[in-house]
Amino acid sequence: MTDLERTIGYTFKDPSLLRRAMTHSSYINEHGLSKPDCNERLEFLGDALLESVASVFLYHRFPDLMEGELSKRRAALVCERALAVSAREIGIPDALILGKGMEKSNARSSDSVTSDAFESLIAALYLDGGFESAKRLIDTHVLNDADEKMISYDAKTALQEILQKEGRAFSYHLVSESGPDHDREFTVEVRVEDLSYGRGTAKSKKQAEQAAALEAIRKLR
Catalytic site residue from 119, 128, 189, 209: 119
Please tell me the chain's helix, strand, coil percentages from 3-state DSSP, rounded to the nearest 5: 65, 10, 20
- Residue of 85, 198, 209, 100 whose CA lies nearest to 157: 209
Note if 189 is an active site residue.
no
Q: Taking a C-beta distance cutoff of 8 angstroms, is the pair 113, 94 a contact?
A: no
**Residues 47, 116, 128, 189: which is the catalytic one?**
47
Residue 63 burial (C-beta neighbours within 10 Å; 0-12, 13-18, 19+): exposed
- The closest alpha carbon to 72, from 142, 158, 200, belongs to 158
Q: How far is CA 127 from CA 56, 121, 217, in A?
A: 20, 10, 40
Active site residue 119: yes
Q: In what order do the strands lie in the sheet with 195-202?
A: 170-178, 185-192, 195-202
- The catalytic site residues sit at 47, 119
